[in-house]
Amino acid sequence: MTDEPPRARRGRRPDLEARRRCLQIAAEMLQESGYAGLTMSELARRAGVSKKSLYAWWADKAAVVTEALAASAETPPLPDLGDTEAELRALFATLLRLANSAEIPLSLSAQQAGPDRTALTRGYIERLLTRRREYSRSLIHRGIDRGDLPEDTDIDALLDLWNGLAVYRHLRSVAVPDQLIDQLVALALNGSVPRLT
């Protein structure tokens, strides 16, 4: 009788399609009934997976929601068009699209998270908003490098102003007319931007 070492047991490979389905269903459940109405049991039932699988993929409900919010609102980097004016217009169009997307209602519904809110907010900022802000900052840096924007532009303040306008108008159901975008882009190109002190 030979003394062979036992073979390592191979676990089942993770079902990436089921995991994606869970994230999509979690986003739908948030829109339907908010954070409080999303339970791991109901998510497992609707996704056709076990609760054990859910907890193998995510530590808790806050982790699922964080990833679902990030997945539903992912946006690619803005391309280098070689033209600062065109890139600023593309940036503002992206901000408007994001403000009018499901991301705002999803984020607002997540505010019901109670004790989980801090972890949810931190995870959401780390996973999505920080990356998106870096894409926007890169675009503004390109304009500075081309000499089209002042070297001392306060990039974060400029992005906050433009983001704030897009979100505030969306929450009030007031459109941002093209001529206002034209004015904002022209002001930036003329050097009327917040400056670093």
Write out the residue limits of the CATH 1.10.10.60 domain(s) in the chain: 16-71
Q: Is the pTM of this model over 0.75?
A: no
The tens-digit pLDDT sequence of the chain (197 residues) is 444 444 444 545 558 899 999 999 998 898 888 888 899 999 999 999 999 999 999 998 888 888 887 776 666 778 899 999 999 999 999 888 877 765 545 555 555 666 666 666 666 666 666 777 888 999 999 999 999 999 999 999 999 999 999 989 988 899 999 999 999 999 999 999 999 98
The architecture in CATH of the region 16-71 reads Orthogonal Bundle (1.10)
Query: What is the location of CATH 1.10.357.10 in the chain?
Result: 76-189
- CATH pick for 76-189 out of 1.10.3210.50, 1.10.357.10, 1.10.3720.10, 3.40.50.720: 1.10.357.10
- Give dist(CA 47, CA 112) in Å, integer: 23
Phi, psi of 78 (to 5 degrees): -75, 130
- Amino acid code (one letter) for 148: D
CA distances from 28 to 24, 102, 115, 166 (A): 6, 10, 22, 24
Provide φ and ψ at 192, rounded to 5°: -85, 75
